A and B are shown apart, each in its own frame.
Chain A
Amino acid sequence: AQSVTQPDIHITVSEGASLELRCNYSYGATPYLFWYVQSPGQGLQLLLKYFSGDTLVQGIKGFEAEFKRSQSSFNLRKPSVHWSDAAEYFCAVGLLTGGGNKLTFGTGTQLKVEL
């Protein structure tokens, strides 16, 4: 079965600093990979996704992620963090079944931004 590990439960960065959130997955084939963001009291919003092609994918809000097959990783990055980026971030792996993508989520990384 597929699984996702987000090793950092909490991360604090200063506004304007760069950010990298780690995600490692376990899956027997090339996975579909996603990053979602959740603001307090809200649902999950898709930041970006990877399923084939260029291993560096661009998303919304200035985020990007790089798929590294050799490391089974899909880390999320942003060159300069804004205070509004404070939220919880979830990495997910998709298993294509007959019913479409069945997503397995990591436990999330809570991002705090210091002004």
Chain B
Amino acid sequence: DARVTQTPRHKVTEMGQEVTMRCQPILGHNTVFWYRQTMMQGLELLAYFRNRAPLDDSGMPKDRFSAEMPDATLATLKIQPSEPRDSAVYFCASGLVAGGTEAFFGQGTRLTVV
């Protein structure tokens, strides 16, 4: 059963600490998306990749957030330094480059910055 895997599922950290979230996309998928979900803003697209290359990260605060794909099986989202306003659920999704194809979501990482 192919699925997107995210780790950790939950993370509590202190303000100022570095946070790294990981995502293993579905094997064979060549697009990866990072979304952030909060009560106030809903689902926001932070960044997305095609064939491991970043195509759009305009939704990400550049000064503290960074997203990479070291290889086809791993995507990372890093926050340094973290702030309380970064508390949210972060979702990774993967898909294929083709019209009409959906994105498959992981179960998310719930981040709490205290």
Could you list which residues of chain A lie within 8 angstroms of chain B, going by C-beta atoms? 32, 34, 36, 41-46, 49, 51-52, 90, 94, 96-108
Contact = CB atoms under 8 A, between A and B. Distances in A.
Range class of the B interface residue count: 20 to 34
A100 B91 contact: no
A101 B102 CA distance: 7
B106 A99 contact: no
Contacts of B56: 97, 99, 102
B43 A99 contact: no
A46 B104 CA distance: 8
A96 B101 CA distance: 10
Interface of A is mostly: strand
B100 A52 contact: yes
24 contacts: A43-B91, A43-B106, A43-B108, A44-B93, A44-B105, A52-B100, A90-B43, A96-B99, A97-B55, A99-B48, A99-B49, A99-B50, A99-B56, A100-B30, A100-B48, A100-B97, A100-B98, A100-B101, A101-B95, A101-B103, A102-B33, A102-B45, A102-B56, A103-B45
A52 B97 CA distance: 17
B100 A107 contact: no
Contacts of A36: 105
Contacts of A104: 45
Contacts of B4: 43
A105 B45 CA distance: 9
